[in-house]
Amino acid sequence: MALSEKKRALIEKIGVHFEFKGMQPLFGRILGLMLVHERAEVTFDEIVEELNVSKSAVSNALTFLQATGKVAYHTKPGDRKRYFHLPMKDFTSDMEKELMEIVKFEEVLEEVLVERGETNADFNCSLKEFLNFIKFIKMEIPVLIEKYKQQKGS
């Protein structure tokens, strides 16, 4: 299955996307390959061949991606290969985690506020406002996601 030029370009684009999120380049490209691949699943060797990388790199990448829940695999009867794929079932909770990661800063800011003296009332006030805002977002994100699930179900 030779990939089209367009698909190859997309894999690179997806790779860059995940690289921006702190992942190693190859890790993101593997996710990209799974996304654009017709079967939406790839074997170890297919990754090696399509992306032109070493087996060691693929092995490390798959170990990491599986450990972090980004990738899973299934097997087929009478076939020794593993078929790696994206676990698409629960993307909502994935997204929720990502969104909540941003508001994690709340905890640190709370500590900052405790540690700060009273000499700079203006700044302390801004900080408190910011904290209120973060807390608001933190509370509303799960509500938002629940709202989506409701709407979808109806």
Partner DNA sequence: ATTTTGGTTCTGTAATTACAGAATTAAAAA
Partner DNA sequence: TTTTTAATTCTGTAATTACAGAACCAAAAT
Instruction: Provide the binding-site residues for its own copies, judged by CB under 8 A.
Output: 4, 6-7, 10, 13-14, 17, 20-22, 35-36, 38-40, 88-89, 91-92, 95, 98-99, 102, 104-105, 108-109, 111-112, 115-117, 119-120, 123, 126-127, 129-130, 132-134, 136-137, 140, 144-145, 147-148, 151-152
Q: Find the helix packing angle between 44-51 and 55-67, rounded to 10°.
A: 120
- 76 touches DNA by CB under 7 A: no
Q: 53 or 99: whose CB is closer to DNA?
A: 53
Please say whether the dihedral angle defined by the alpha carbons of residues 32, 33, 34 and 37, taken in this order, is positive or negative.
positive
Q: 119 or 154: whose CB is closer to its own copies?
A: 119
Q: 29 or 134: whose CB is closer to DNA?
A: 29
- Interaction pattern, residues 81-110, with DNA; x per rule: CB under 7 A: xx----------------------------
Q: Give one DSSP letter per residue of 101-141, joined into a string.
A: HHTTHHHHHHHHHHHS-SS-HHHHHHHHHHHHHHHHHHHHH
Residue 72 binds: one of its own copies, DNA, none (C-beta under 5 to 8 A by kind): none
- Interaction pattern, residues 51-70, with DNA; x per rule: CB under 7 A: -xxxxxxxxx-xx-------
